[in-house]
């Protein structure tokens, strides 16, 4: 495991040994402990010898770093030697000694770091300005604690944190919590792009990360210009993020990751691709053999079975920081990364984020288009539809489809920009009332009010851009990368999340990504990216224009109803509230309506989002005592 933890306490050395024992018990491995002389400031490092975590020391300062730095670095500064990740910590520590709190100005990357100042009994915490990595923090009157792993916060606190259920309705609806909140009482996520100073007296955030200027959009108006600019930028970025290795692994899915493999081969890298394979037919990625014949690279099949899901679920909270409705995808990805490590790889590239920045996700586009075409339904009509769809018999018969339809009707009663922003919901008030037995916890804010607040200031976005921004709010890719790298020790990067690619994609007019006239129901998006791949001869047409297939697709609905059912039921019993067993059994029971949904509507070809969300919620919070 690869994690950073620590604390500042008024207790000194006695606290140090107690915390070390807790961390060891939680992760089943002892961390490296670095402390000030009086033992009041402590930094714990869990490092399995991979490339994702590095540290450096100079005098009374120790900097521990997890993640990756990106080029170009700020001008007129010494460059990072191309010897690997170990130099990142030393480079940042030298910048801190030179620039103080502004040592991250102009620095790009995906990282979290901690600096132990043993002389001052202080710790500085920081994450990248994109918020791709997390550090969680808690303060009491005598202790300040932090961790890159949410569930491990209890190991570095005076006592395990209480569970905070005051945002539970929002979390079980939308899979995330806004404003840096967590389901642990008093535990917050530090702000992205900030340096936070922890001492025994206080914690103080210091904004210390500048933002690069935007691109000039006026030069990106015709396809030829954009294709040339996109190709040069893409190849530069792939070269940059693979600079430390001549041998690179690619987690292969569809077009996005195939394009990365093609770029690596063109750069002269030795490429090995890894693809999920399932015992059931119809779920394995198409055109894998076609790509291998075209590029001549090595390929490894990653066989996924119910046993792998069970093992990953039992250790879920040690790697992943957030409950999700696609736990199988995260677990499969972590398993694949550990397999890559076993094959001797230290670096992996993925296509994560491509659909978000280049307007892929056909279902997101279809939904945004649908809500542009219909007006705001009157409240009385919304109420009538919801009354029918909320009948117990309707959900018993339709399952996920009933919850899906209730969400569509609810959204239809909202106005822009709220209706076009965060639109995917798993549990609503009706399903939560059936799930939870006994009294429901009082909520800090009404869910609808939260959505209105989160959409405030987004009126300037086009409906399509607004929809994709809302899709990214869940942070599935971030959660995946954090957990996979923590579990495997690999660096896991995507060119499509690089600031240069993101800035370029955001500067493009919508018609170059989704030309007018394409059917909203099946348009793959990413038009100019596909044209670039074709014009520059990176990939053959059958791979470029293959049908879109979601990377989360897997036969998990059938597994949840059979092989995994008892294990899921046992995990659900760890939830912080009693559940209606009849309703839980219904969540895991196959239905004809859900079969049609998987085949005709859901790109992921599964409908067990609700079951996944509550079992991962149970894993993340099951160690916490209930408040009150």
The model's pLDDT over 457-478, given as tens digits with 9 standing for 90+, comes to 999 888 888 888 888 888 888 9
Please state which of the ranges 303-307, 520-524, 604-608 shows the lowest mean pLDDT.
520-524
- Taking residue 558's Cβ as centre, other Cβ atoms within 10 Å add up to 15
* Distance (Å, whole) CA 218 – CA 228: 15
Tell me what pLDDT residue 14 has. Answer: 64
Tell me what pLDDT residue 219 has. Answer: 57
Residues 6+ apart with CB under 8 A from 86: 54
The whole-chain average pLDDT of the chain stands at 87
Tell me what pLDDT residue 626 has. Answer: 66
Q: Which one has a higher pLDDT value, 147 or 20?
A: 147
Residues 6+ apart with CB under 8 A from 398: 405, 591, 593, 594
Q: Mutual orientation of helices 400-412 and 592-600 as an angle, nearest 10°?
A: 60
- Taking residue 12's Cβ as centre, other Cβ atoms within 10 Å add up to 16
Condensed to tens digits (0 to 9), the pLDDT of residues 496-519 reads 999 889 989 888 887 888 776 654
Distances (CA, A) of 422 to 108, 431, 467: 27, 19, 7
ω before 72 within 30° of 0 (cis)? Answer: yes
Condensed to tens digits (0 to 9), the pLDDT of residues 152-208 reads 999 999 888 999 999 999 999 999 999 999 999 999 999 998 899 987 665 555 554
Q: Which two tokens stand for residue 322?
A: 């957030």
pLDDT at 600 over 90: no
Cα dihedral: 276, 279, 281, 284 (round 10): 0
Task: Identify the residue whose tokens are 């998990």.
Answer: 556
Distances (CA, A) of 353 to 216, 348, 503, 505: 22, 15, 13, 11
Condensed to tens digits (0 to 9), the pLDDT of residues 67-113 reads 998 864 544 444 444 444 557 899 999 999 999 989 998 888 899 99
pTM: 0.92
Q: Which two tokens stand for residue 429?
A: 């008030």
Tell me what pLDDT residue 78 has. Answer: 45
Q: Are strands 188-189 and 3-9 parallel, antiparallel or unpaired?
A: unpaired
* Contact call for residues 154 and 625 (beta carbons, < 8 A): no
* Distance (Å, whole) CA 182 – CA 357: 27
Q: Find the farthest-apart pair of alpha carbons in the chain and give their distance in angstroms, rounded.
A: 69
> What average pLDDT does the segment 560-589 reach?
94
* Contact call for residues 605 and 599 (beta carbons, < 8 A): yes
Tell me what pLDDT residue 81 has. Answer: 43
Q: Residue 220: pLDDT band by 50, 70, 90 thresholds?
A: low
> What average pLDDT does the segment 260-266 reach?
96
Condensed to tens digits (0 to 9), the pLDDT of residues 335-346 reads 999 999 999 999
**Residue-wise burial string across 496-520, b where 16 or more C-beta atoms lie within 10 A, e elsewhere:** bbbbbbbebbebbeeebbbeeeeeb
């Amino acid at each position: 495991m690869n994690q950073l933890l620590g604390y500042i306490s008024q207790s000194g050395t006695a606290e140090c040994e107690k915390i070390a024992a807790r961390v060891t018990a939680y992760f089943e491995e002892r961390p490296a402990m670095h402390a000030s002389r009086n033992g009041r400031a402590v930094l714990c490092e869990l490092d399995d010898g991979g490339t994702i975590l590095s540290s450096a020391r100079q005098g009374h300062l120790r900097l521990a770093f997890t993640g990756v730095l990106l080029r170009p670095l700020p001008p007129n500064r010494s460059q990072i030697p191309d010897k690997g990740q170990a130099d990142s910590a030393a480079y940042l520590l030298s910048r801190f000694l030179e620039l103080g709190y502004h040592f991250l100005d102009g620095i790009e990357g995906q990282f979290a770091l901690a600096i132990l100042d043993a002389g001052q009994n202080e710790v500085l915490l920081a994450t990248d300005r994109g918020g791709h990595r997390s550090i969680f923090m808690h303060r009491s009157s005598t202790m300040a604690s932090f961790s890159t792993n949410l569930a491990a916060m209890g190991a570095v606190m005076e006592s395990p944190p209480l569970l905070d259920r005051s945002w539970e309705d929002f979390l079980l609806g939308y899979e995330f919590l806004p404003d840096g909140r967590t389901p642990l009482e008093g535990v917050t996520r530090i702000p992205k792009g900030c340096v936070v100073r922890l001492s025994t007296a206080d914690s103080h955030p210091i904004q210390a990360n500048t933002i690069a200027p935007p691109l000039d959009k006026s030069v990106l108006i015709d396809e030829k210009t954009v294709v040339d600019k996109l190709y040069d930028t893409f190849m530069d970025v792939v070269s940059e993020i693979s600079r430390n290795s001549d041998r690179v692994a690619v987690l292969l899915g569809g077009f996005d990751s195939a394009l990365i493999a093609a770029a690596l081969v063109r750069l002269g890298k030795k490429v090995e691709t890894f693809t999920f394979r399932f015992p059931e037919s119809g779920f394995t990625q198409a055109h894998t053999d076609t790509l291998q014949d075209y590029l001549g690279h090595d390929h490894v099949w990653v066989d996924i079975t119910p046993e792998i899901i069970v093992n990953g679920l039992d250790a879920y909270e040690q790697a992943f920081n957030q409950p999700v409705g696609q736990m199988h995808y995260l677990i499969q990805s972590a398993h694949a990364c550990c397999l890559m490590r076993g094959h001797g790889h230290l670096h992996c590239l993925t296509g994560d984020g491509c659909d978000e920045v280049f307007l892929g996700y056909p279902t997101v586009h279809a939904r945004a288009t649908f809500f542009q075409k219909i007006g705001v339904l009157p409240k009385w009509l919304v109420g009538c539809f919801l009354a029918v769809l909320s009948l117990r018999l309707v959900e018993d018969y339709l399952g996920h489809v009933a919850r899906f339809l209730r969400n569509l009707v609810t959204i239809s009663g909202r106005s822009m920009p709220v209706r076009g922003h965060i639109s995917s919901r798993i549990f609503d008030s009706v399903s939560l009332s059936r799930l939870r037995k006994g009294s429901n916890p009082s909520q800090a804010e009404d869910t609808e009010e939260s959505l209105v607040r989160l959409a405030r200031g987004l009126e300037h976005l086009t409906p399509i851009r607004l929809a994709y921004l809302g899709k990214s709010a869940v942070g599935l890719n971030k959660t995946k990368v954090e957990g996979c790298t923590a579990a495997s020790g690999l660096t896991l990067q995507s060119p499509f999340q690089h600031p240069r690619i993101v800035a370029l994609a955001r500067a493009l007019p919508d018609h170059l990504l989704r030309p007018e006239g394409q059917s909203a129901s099946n348009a793959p998006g990413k038009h100019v990216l596909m044209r670039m791949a074709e014009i520059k001869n990176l990939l053959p047409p059958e791979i470029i224009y293959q049908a879109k297939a979601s990377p989360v697709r897997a036969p998990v609905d059938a597994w949840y109803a059979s092989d995994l059912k008892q294990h899921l039921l046992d995990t659900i019993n760890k939830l912080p509230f009693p559940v209606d067993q009849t309703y839980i059994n219904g969540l895991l029971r196959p239905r004809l309506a859900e079969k049609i949904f998987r085949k005709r509507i859901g790109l992921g070809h599964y409908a067990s989002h609700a079951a996944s969300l509550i079992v991962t919620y149970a894993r993340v919070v099951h160690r916490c005592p209930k408040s009150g």
